[in-house]
Amino acid sequence: MLGAFAVGKTSLVQRYVKSIFSEKYQTTIGVKIDKKTVMVNQTEVDLLLWDIHGEDDFQKVKSSYVVGSSGYFIVIDGTRAETFAVGLELLKLAQSAAPAASCVFLFNKADIKSEWEITENQINEIRTMGFEVIETSAKDNLSVNEAFNHIAALMLK
Amino acid sequence: MLRNLPENILKYLVDQVPPYTGILIVKTSAEGVVLGWHGDPADYLSEALMINEDLSDQVAALFGMIPPLVSPMVLSRIEMHSECIADIHIVEDEELNEFWIFFVNQTKEVEGIRDFLQRLNESKLSAAKSNSDNPFGALHLLDLATFKPQSDGLFSVVGELPHWFQTLSSVEGRIKGRIQLADMFPFMEVFLPEANAFWDKQRNGNFKSGVWSENAQSGNNLYLNAYAINFNGVGYLMIRPLYQEFDGEMEVMQRAREQSLAFEKLAKAERKLKDLLDYKDKFVSIVSHDLRSPVASVLSIAQMLNADEGFLAQISDFNREMLNNIQQEMLRLLDYNDKLYNWSNLELGNFTLVTSRIQLLELVTQAERTAQPKLKEKHIEMQVEVPSGFLVEVDTTLFAQVLNNLVANALKFTAEGGKLTVSAKKGEGFYVLSLADSGVGMSKEVADQLFQGFVRQSTLGTKGEKGTGLGMGIVKKILDAHGFDIKVDSVVGEGTTFSIYLPAI
């Protein structure tokens, strides 16, 4: 899980792994690794989900956290324009550290789409770059399972 | 009682007794009989303290200790009762042959190290299990889990594993023989390659991992740091939990990010507000621009009719007065509309300064000419004291607007027969152009708000003159665009002086 701080990385993992959601923002320090076993095309897959702290001036993501990954999400908060640029920066870091890994962009907080600052053009920009885009909401459980199952399937290809 | 302490006893109390959270001081005779006390005995003793009783009846540790073999004598960490542990200092007052017993409360200090001492003692008891290959001794007592990497990539435990380590969900029941740390902690997949590179260098020192968190069996998260260590050519790996010191760091991080989020929200609200203001200014600009033509047409018709003597002769006095009123009001409306248009364009930044060099006197004279009708109407004397030769660089059209607005404002608030003086003085690299009137003046509160922008309600002039509430705002905008300062000094009932500071050419 890569993205700026407070985009909802931890919330997405918690929703997916534990089916819970908290409105309270609790900043992630360091790395939290969760496990979840899923069935992908009749194959049992153990997912190790690395919830990495948000990127900002206080904490920088180390490329070594991404090196061994089979896939990663770049998470962007639809309501915060600033998180788009951070997502693209982290994409560069991840592409350099794990060139073979699958990548999916998650535009989170789809439950409050009326407040989005991220434009359709920006989302299309990501699609044009060849990445899949999924609009998610950890709060309303929108497309969360689909996103994780999808990246698991991509990683198996 | 403290005040009555003999000097040598007081000196002992200040110099020798460590900082304490509570103290009981008891004075006894040479036989240990209680003569008096200071402090609350109930905190230290199970039963009430009595004068003339033998203190050792209450405190068994003092049995046979008074008089002591040496003075002072300190008995450390004596359990007074189940909730109190104290250091007991026995000090002799040689002059009076009396003894002062200090019970210094050490309960909190002992609680702080009890756990450590417990584990230290347990460690000593199980010393037979200790690994002779452990150069770090009882380091696990400081909560460090220590491992030694083996050639096959597995790790052997060095010394004892601390309690917290064994309570981790990922560790439970898996410490048998050599262990695969990366299986236990996926985070190690990232750290071990870096640690291996560090161990290969074989230089004494340590290399620290990032922070990661693990679930404890209690359900809480435990934050951890790993260290790769080279010690005398041998590599070790230590894992350390982050407790209180990290809580503070987390709190700072949490607060910083919450503030960042609040700042982002504020910036977002500001952007929205600015968009709305721009929209408002554009709207005003368009409306005032489009209104100008019909207003000017109606004014022209009124002026034309007012100038047609044949027509005026045909209508009643009342209708002539009405026609005159239409002309005056349309004139005022046009002025207001023009100011609104100028204001909105200044707000939007829809203008470019086109500056040229000009005599300050010429600009003032031009403003005086414009003000002539009003000067005559109110019999106000306008005195100009601007030396010729004061050259300034301004946008003449916009600066003329500044002077016209300031002069009009002065005339509005100066009663008939008053005076307006426009003067200029040279300072160090600048001119000060002052407009001083003998008008009604204004309070400091009004003066402070004067250049804030649109004034909701314009004050009527001395002859009931109405204003737009925009004049001073326009003045400030134009001067700001030039980079000039303006100041206002006013005394209610005496008058107002506006001073503009312009760079001298």
User: What is the mean predicted confidence (pLDDT) over A118-122?
Assistant: 96
**Which residue of A31, A52, A79 is the best one to mutate when testing the B interface, meaning the one whose CB has the most B CBs within 10 A?**
A31
- Specify whether the CB–CB gap between A100 and A154 falls below 8 A: no
CB pairs under 8 A between A and B: 57
- Specify whether the CB–CB gap between B74 and B87 falls below 8 A: yes
- Put simply, the answer to whether B189 touches A6 (Cβ < 8 Å) is no
Domains B2-111 and B127-242 share a fold: yes
Full DSSP string of B423-454: EEEE-SSEEEEEEEE-S----HHHHHHTTSS-
Distance from B479 to chain A by nearest Cα, in Å? 36
User: What is the mean predicted confidence (pLDDT) over A85-98?
Assistant: 96
Q: Which residues from chain B sit within 8 angstroms of residue A56, using beta carbons?
A: 257, 260
**Which residue of A29, A57, A82, A86 is the best one to mutate when testing the B interface, meaning the one whose CB has the most B CBs within 10 A?**
A29
Distance from A76 to chain B by nearest Cα, in Å? 15
- Put simply, the answer to whether A54 touches B257 (Cβ < 8 Å) is yes
User: What is the mean predicted confidence (pLDDT) over A2-24?
Assistant: 94
A96 touching B, CB under 8 A? no
- Put simply, the answer to whether B254 touches A82 (Cβ < 8 Å) is no
Please give the pLDDT value at position B394: 94
- Put simply, the answer to whether B256 touches A30 (Cβ < 8 Å) is no
Please give the pLDDT value at position B319: 94
Name the residue among B488, B374, B491 with its Cα closest to residue B435: B488
Q: What does the alpha-carbon distance between residue B162 and residue A85 come to, in Å, rounded to a whole number?
A: 44
- Specify whether the CB–CB gap between B460 and B412 falls below 8 A: no
In the three-class reduction of DSSP (H, G, I as helix; E, B as strand; rest coil), residue B92 is classed as: strand
Least trusted range by pLDDT, from A118-132, A135-149, B271-285: B271-285
Distance from B238 to chain A by nearest Cα, in Å? 18
CATH of the domain at A93: 3.40.50.300
In the three-class reduction of DSSP (H, G, I as helix; E, B as strand; rest coil), residue B314 is classed as: helix
ipTM of the complex: 0.81
Q: Which residues pair with B74 in a beta bridge?
A: B89
Please determine, looking at this structure, whether the domain spanning B2-111 carries the CATH number 3.30.450.20. yes
Assigned superfamily of B352-503 = Histidine kinase-like ATPase, C-terminal domain (3.30.565.10)
User: What is the mean predicted confidence (pLDDT) over A82-107?
Assistant: 96
Question: Is residue A26 pLDDT above 80, yes or no?
Answer: yes
* Nearest CB to A29; choose among B186, B194, B250: B250
Question: Is residue A111 pLDDT above 60, yes or no?
Answer: yes
Enclosing domain of residue A90: 2-156
Distance from B215 to chain A by nearest Cα, in Å? 9
* Nearest CB to B223; choose among A25, A30, A54: A30
- Which CATH number is associated with domain B127-242? 3.30.450
pLDDT in tens, chain B (505 residues): 566 788 888 888 888 888 778 899 999 999 899 999 998 999 898 888 999 999 988 887 887 788 887 888 888 888 888 788 889 999 999 888 899 999 999 888 877 777 766 666 666 555 544 444 566 666 666 688 999 999 888 999 888 888 889 889 888 777 778 899 988 999 999 999 999 999 998 888 889 999 999 998 888 888 999 999 988 788 999 999 987 667 787 888 889 889 989 998 999 899 999 999 888 888 888 888 889 889 999 999 999 999 999 999 999 999 999 999 999 889 888 888 888 888 888 888 877 888 999 999 999 999 999 899 899 999 999 999 999 999 999 999 889 989 999 999 999 999 999 999 999 999 999 999 999 999 999 888 888 888 876 555 566 777 777 666 678 888 998 999 899 999 999 999 999 999 999 999 8
Please give the pLDDT value at position B129: 47
Q: What does the alpha-carbon distance between residue B336 and residue B328 come to, in Å, rounded to a whole number?
A: 12
DSSP-derived pairing of the beta strands A71-77 and A2-3: parallel
- Put simply, the answer to whether B258 touches A25 (Cβ < 8 Å) is yes
Q: Identify the CATH class of B251-346.
A: mainly alpha
Q: Where are the domains of chain B?
A: 2-111, 127-242, 251-346, 352-503
- Put simply, the answer to whether B210 touches A65 (Cβ < 8 Å) is yes
In the three-class reduction of DSSP (H, G, I as helix; E, B as strand; rest coil), residue B135 is classed as: coil
The total number of structural domains in chain A stands at 1
